[in-house]
Amino acid sequence: MDIKRIFIYGLLLLAAIGLATLGFTAWGTEGLLIPLGITFAYFTSIFVVATIINNNSIVDIGWGLGFVIGAWASLLITESPNLLAYLLVGFITLWGLRLSIRLFNRNVGKPEDFRYAQWRKEWGKNVVITAFFRVFMIQGLINFVVGSAAYSIIKFNAFVFEGFQAVLVIVGFGLAIVGFAFEVIGDEQLRQHIQKKTRSLLQTGLWSITRHPNYLGEILIWNGIYIAGFSLLLTGSIPWIYYLILVLSPLVMSAVLIKISTPLLEKNMEKYAGWAEYAQRVPMIFPFTKPKA
C-alpha cells in the first residue's frame, strides 16, 4: 500500500475517533464511541458474508443501512431524545432503507460489480485481507464520519422549535428533502429507462440538468443535515470547535462522490454512444454550472 493511501486512511481513522470522543475528551458513553463500534461491527459482518459468497460489491447494498444502524444506536444511547432527534432518525431510516432495498433488488443474483471485480484481479491472492481494510473498514470509517453530524444532533441537541433555531432546522431539513426527492425521482427515471432496454444514455428529466441526480441528492441531504445541526451551537449543546469539525460530514461525502465514485462510474459510461456530447452539455453534479467532462 502506498504512503499516500496510508496517510489518508490514518487521517480518516483519526477523524472518526476524534468525532466519536468529542475531540478526544469523552471516552465513555457520553460520546459516540458506541455508534462507532457498532458501525465497525456492522461492516465487519458484511465482510464475512461477502467473503463467503465471493462478492465484495454487496457492501454497496449495506451502505445506506449503515446510517440507519448508526442513527438508531445514537438514539438508544440518548437519555432524553427530543422531537428533532426522532425526526432525524425517521428521515435517515426512510432514506437508508430505500437505498439499501433498491440496491438489493437491482443487484441480487448478479455478478460482482465491475469495480470490485477489477480490484479482485489486481489484489490477487491477497484479496481477502486487502478487501477487509481497503473496502469494508474504509467504508465503515467514511460511513461513520459522514453520519457523525446526524448522530451528534440526535444525541446532544437541546433543541426547541422556536425562533432562529426553527428557521435553521426548516432550511436544513428542506434541503435534505429536496436531495431525497432528487434521489427518488432520478432513480425512478433511470429504472424506467433501463426497462426500455434501449442500451442508451438517459438524457431527459433530472438527467438533463445533472449527469448524476442521485449523487447530487446525497450531497444535498448531508449538507442539509449539517445546516440543521447549527442549532447545536445555539443551544450550547456542544463546543463551537466540535461543530466546525463536524463539517467533515458533508465534506467527506461530497469529496467521495465527486472525486471517487463519479469518475469510476463515468469511465464505465463512456462506452455509450453520445457520451462525449452529453458530458460537454450537462454538468457532472451541480445544475447550472459549467459542464466538466
pTM as predicted? 0.92
Query: Quick one: pLDDT band at residue 197, thresholds 50, 70, 90?
Result: confident
pLDDT at 240: 87
Instruction: Give me 97's grid cell.
Output: 432503507
pLDDT digits (tens, 9 = 90+) for 152-187: 999 998 777 778 888 999 999 999 999 999 999 999
Burial class (CB in 10 A: 0-12, 13-18, 19+), 123: middle
What are the phi and psi torsion angles at 146 (to 5°)?
A: -65, -40
CA 177/CA 212 separation, integer angstroms: 17
CA 136/CA 127 separation, integer angstroms: 12
Average pLDDT of the chain to the nearest whole number: 92
Q: What is the mean pLDDT of residues 224-238?
A: 88
Query: Quick one: pLDDT band at residue 1, thresholds 50, 70, 90?
Result: low
Query: Quick one: pLDDT band at residue 5, thresholds 50, 70, 90?
Result: confident
Instruction: Give me 238's grid cell.
Output: 456542544
pLDDT at 293: 59
Helix, strand, coil abundance in the chain, percent, nearest 5: 75, 0, 25
Instruction: Give me 104's grid cell.
Output: 438489493
